[in-house]
Each structure stands twice: as structure tokens, then as C-alpha cells.
Chains A and B, each alone.
Chain A
Amino acid sequence: GQQLNQSPQSMFIQEGEDVSMNCTSSSIFNTWLWYKQEPGEGPVLLIALYKAGELTSNGRLTAQFGITRKDSFLNISASIPSDVGIYFCAGVKNTGNQFYFGTGTSLTVIP
């Protein structure tokens, strides 16, 4: 299937630091989504992006839809321990509304 590459694969940061992660693809997507998954839970939608170049915030989270439509970025400012989890990007093409998920970025916040 479609492969979306996320980087970094994992991050260990101090509480209060900012975090950046990105997602790249060889294909164009019309929508980019960012999800967070905690152990034993399903992914939770954080941010949805619908237009190339769009920058959207949700509290301390900011995500951008890349101009080429082949990438997206997620930033978390002033990280806190509850930010711990795995962050997934997902690209959506109009056709069939199929979601393609990234490989995930595991975030650990050290108090």
C-alpha cells in the first residue's frame, strides 16, 4: 500500500521543549490529518488540514499542509508529560476516501 514516511521515528525530550515532526509521501494528498495514539487506545484526531499551505493550530499544536501537497508538519510547543504517545499523520485522497497512515513518531517527554 501507500507509504507515508514520518520522521523522526522516536523522540525523547525534556518537558517544556518544543517538538517538530514531519510526514512525507511520494503521492499528492488532498487532506492531511494528524492523530495521537496512547497505549491501549485508538488514534485521536488532533488536526485536519484541507488546503495546500494551510497552517492550523489546536492549542499548543500547530500543523501545516505542505505546498507540494506531498508533506505535512506537526509542531508541539512547550511539551508536557501528557503529550507522550505515538503521533501519526494520515493522507487522504479524494478517490474512495481511503486514509493512508504514516509510520508514526513516538514521543517521550521527560519531566
Chain B
Amino acid sequence: DSGVTQTPKHLITATGQRVTLRCSPRSGDLSVYWYQQSLDQGLQFLIQYYNGEERAKGNILERFSAQQFPDLHSELNLSSLELGDSALYFCASSAHPTNTEAFFGQGTRLTVV
């Protein structure tokens, strides 16, 4: 158990809908990362937050947004969902923004139908 908690584990929704994925980092970790894992694209970095502020942005679509709250949990919002958004979404956390030893949650499997 990495200590990173993601909910829900599975999500099935229709195209055009909006969903929110939630992540609680390991106790004491201030930095949260979001990744998308699909069969054809592998693990793609989406966005990083540190202590409530956006730190780095990767291949995140404009339809996606994220935030980190004062209690350090983070949410990833995916809107106007398309079939191609079906993937595993992982959250990872680390103690510091430049700490490369990030620990991953078990992921949320999103299926868009």
C-alpha cells in the first residue's frame, strides 16, 4: 500500500458527461501529480500541484482541470468526455515538488461509453 488513495476505483459514464476523480496523497506529502495511462499512449503526465498551487503542466487537455485543496487532497475534473478519454488515471504524491520519488495510487479506471 503506497498510502495514496484514489476514488472511485471504477467509473463508467457517457460521452459528453463530466466526472471528478479524487486523490488523497500520502500523509505529509505536499506534491500531487496526475497521470493518464492508456494502451496506445502509455503513462502521460497531466499536471502537478504543490501545496495548493499548480507547479507543472503536461499533456492536459483544456477539457480537463485539476486543483489541490487546503487539506492537500486533489481532484481531477474531466468534462465533455469523449470515448478516447477512457483510460486509467493515476495520482501520485511526493514530499517536495522536486522530490522524484513519487508514490502512485491504485488508479481510477474511467470508461466512457
With beta carbons under 8 angstroms apart, the residue of B35, B59, B100, B105 that contacts A92 is B100
Interface positions of A from 15 to 54, Cβ below 8 Å from B? 31, 33, 35, 40-45, 48, 50
Q: A1-B44, A103-B42 are in contact. List 8 more A-B contacts (CB 8 A).
A: A1-B58, A40-B106, A42-B105, A43-B104, A45-B101, A97-B48, A97-B98, A102-B42
A residues at B contact (CB < 8 Å): 1, 31, 33, 35, 40-45, 48, 50, 88, 90, 92, 94, 96-104
With beta carbons under 8 angstroms apart, the residue of A1, A43, A98 that contacts B48 is A98
- Least CB distance, B78 to chain A, in whole angstroms: 18
Please determine whether A98 and B106 come into contact, CB atoms closer than 8 angstroms: no
Please determine whether A45 and B48 come into contact, CB atoms closer than 8 angstroms: no
